[in-house]
Amino acid sequence: MDAAGRIETALELALATARDGCPPRLGAALRDAVIPGGARLRPRLTLAVAFACADDQPAAADAAAAAIELLHCASLVHDDMPCFDDATLRRGRPSIHAAYGENVALLTGDALIVLAFSELARRVADPVRLRRLIGIVADAVGAPNGIVAGQAQECEPSIGLSDYHRRKTGSLISGATMAGAAAAGFEPEPWRALGMAIGEAYQVADDIRDLVCEPAELGKPVGRDAALGRPSATREFGMVGAMDRLRVLVARAVDVVPVCPGDAMLKAMILRETRKFLPAELAAEAA
Amino acid sequence: MDAAGRIETALELALATARDGCPPRLGAALRDAVIPGGARLRPRLTLAVAFACADDQPAAADAAAAAIELLHCASLVHDDMPCFDDATLRRGRPSIHAAYGENVALLTGDALIVLAFSELARRVADPVRLRRLIGIVADAVGAPNGIVAGQAQECEPSIGLSDYHRRKTGSLISGATMAGAAAAGFEPEPWRALGMAIGEAYQVADDIRDLVCEPAELGKPVGRDAALGRPSATREFGMVGAMDRLRVLVARAVDVVPVCPGDAMLKAMILRETRKFLPAELAAEAA
């Protein structure tokens, strides 16, 4: 099975466990929060790194990829809620709180976080890899350095741009690369820098898209960063400066890939994936 | 160190990990959500069961107790939010969203859930016990059978009382007893019935308190179950019927304690603890 197939299968497997006998509205919301997905960037990175590291225990890599994506989906559900972005659209469809109410949305995020950890415990057979994976995903999501802490910076009087991006986006993307290595039995720490570079590139691209795209293309409201007074690379560096920064970050990502059996293939994949961060006409300009 | 001291130390240790370098408002809210605590019923049960099972790895029992309490605190923070109970008081002080806003409260609950799992991975040395403990706490909190699913039943058109109580209260209390056994290297499953009986007794006592206590005594608003149209033992069975039911459940709890090195001591502890579920004058009546 190809990577995309493995990811969807692993997510369906996880959801089936959580939804069997679940109160119906929560069960439906859990599925809608995860399927159909977006680009699945993070789990594809997890599997790509696991492949590059020889992927000797595919079940562990699949569980790691699913856990990372479940946590990403949880953060989207909670971030869309009225107390943060108040976004009624996500991936071109009603966001979870818009469709099911704030109460169900709150619980959906909570249940997805728990499910990420229980999937790891259920499916990662090797105890050393299991312990590492739990540590990696917890660091990527929780306090003091994960997504939750990044989101919490929005609740402070002032925010530093790079610190905010590091936590809000870089933490889970570096969690994705590190989890891929850990699932394949490799030391995860050398894989952090790759995720951080891709994460920062993704965030800069997101700021660019937020400024130039139509809502239909984006699947969510545009111009929200400015409306919410959030830090943004386009506001800090201007459009040209942001495009420059994106080029630098992609080059850095390729540069920091650790030596491993499949590093050449992985570098090619990174160039391919990061090109998709921008709409086609802008991607050509950034190359 | 006595049980109460071990629990507070384990919670302080967990909080220190999460708060070191954390955005200040989230860091403060994390602490306020956990310390000072309430009765600490769940972690005290975890340690009591671990003692009764010889407590050969106290660090594992302490981590299990802390994880259970962190998850309980997370559920209180999220349940108090406006989309559920809209409770501005908790343990006689402002609830987390009342003090820090809904956005910080949402993140506080999320971060506490993640912290529970990362504490287990960090401190439970034995891999078999670690895997079991993660499974136990995830089942107790997540979908389809944990607290989150119980809370989700409030979002459905109709709710069955016993099913609701089983998930909303019984699940984490049986998680507490099972975690105590697993932390001490015992099979956890035989310890589920004990937690379920204590959980149901606790819920019935809570319904009685909700009807008869003053807000100051309860540390939170009274009469909310009726106001929110929630299932309640006093409304279903009447006051006398609810008191009868409480007596039956406490007797059942003592009755289902599995044979283990410290079972006599544990039974005495259960009688002592369940007596505290009601105010003194009612407890005398229920005995």
Instruction: Give the Cα separation of B121 and B64 in Å (integer).
Output: 10
Please tell me the distance in Å from A37's CA to the nearest CA on chain B: 20
Record: contact A114-B148, CB cut-off 8 A? yes
Smallest CA–CA distance, residue B13 to chain A, in Å, is 14
Closest of A180, A174, A193 to residue A54, by C-alpha: A180
What is the Cα–Cα distance from A120 to B142, expressed in whole angstroms?
Answer: 14
Number of A to B CB contacts under 8 A, please give it: 183
B contact test, residue of A132, A148, A154, A172 with most B CBs within 10 A: A148
User: In whole angstroms, how far apart are CA A256 and each of A112, A124, A238, B171, B229?
Assistant: 32, 27, 27, 46, 58
Query: What is the least distance, in Å, from the CA of A287 to any CA of chain B?
Result: 36
Separation of alpha carbons A105 and B152, rounded Å: 10
Nearest CA in chain B to A74: B110
Q: Which of A117, A130, A158 to mutate to test the interface with B (most CBs of B within 10 A)?
A: A117
Residues of B whose CB is below 8 A from A28? none
DSSP letter at A182 equals H
Whole-angstrom distance, CA of residue B107 vs CA of residue B113: 10
User: How far apart, in Å, are the Cα atoms of A168 and each of A43, A147, B190?
Assistant: 17, 5, 42
Q: What is the ipTM of this complex?
A: 0.93
Which residue of A lies nearest to B121 if distances are taken between CA atoms?
A: A131
CA dist list (Å): A222 to A16, A85, A97, B51 = 34, 12, 19, 57
Contact B96, B29 (CB under 8 A): yes
Residue reference for tokens 């909700």: B210
pLDDT of residue B216: 59
Q: How do strand A93-94 and strand A89-90 relate by DSSP bridges?
A: antiparallel
- CB-CB neighbors (< 8 A) of B120 in chain A: 134
SS (H, E, C) A127-172: HHHHHHHHHHHHHHHCCCCCHHHHHHHCCCCCCCHHHHHHHHHHHH
Of B22, B23, B138, the CB nearest to A117: B138
Q: Is B142 close to A84, i.e. CB distance below 8 A?
A: no
- Give B-chain residues touching A24 at CB under 8 angstroms: 156
**Closest partner residue to B152 among A78, A102, A107, by Cβ?**
A107
Nearest Cα to Cα of residue A41 among A274, A285, A280, A281? A274
Distance from the B209 Cα atom to the nearest Cα atom in chain A, whole angstroms: 25
- Regions of chain B where pLDDT drops below 50: none
Model pLDDT, residue B48? 98
Question: What angle is formed at CA B134 by the lines to CA B204 and CA A1, rounded to 5 degrees?
Answer: 125
Q: What are the start-end ranges of the H helices in B124-232?
A: 127-141, 147-153, 161-165, 171-183, 192-212, 215-218, 224-227
| Per-residue pLDDT of chain A in tens (287 residues, 90 and over written 9) | 799 999 999 999 999 999 999 999 999 999 999 999 999 999 999 999 999 999 999 999 999 999 999 999 999 999 999 999 999 999 889 999 999 999 999 999 999 999 999 999 999 999 999 999 999 999 999 999 999 999 999 888 877 767 787 888 899 999 999 999 999 999 999 999 999 999 999 989 988 888 887 666 656 666 666 666 666 888 888 889 999 999 999 999 999 999 999 999 999 999 998 988 887 777 776 66
Domains in chain B with CATH codes: 3-286 (1.10.600.10)
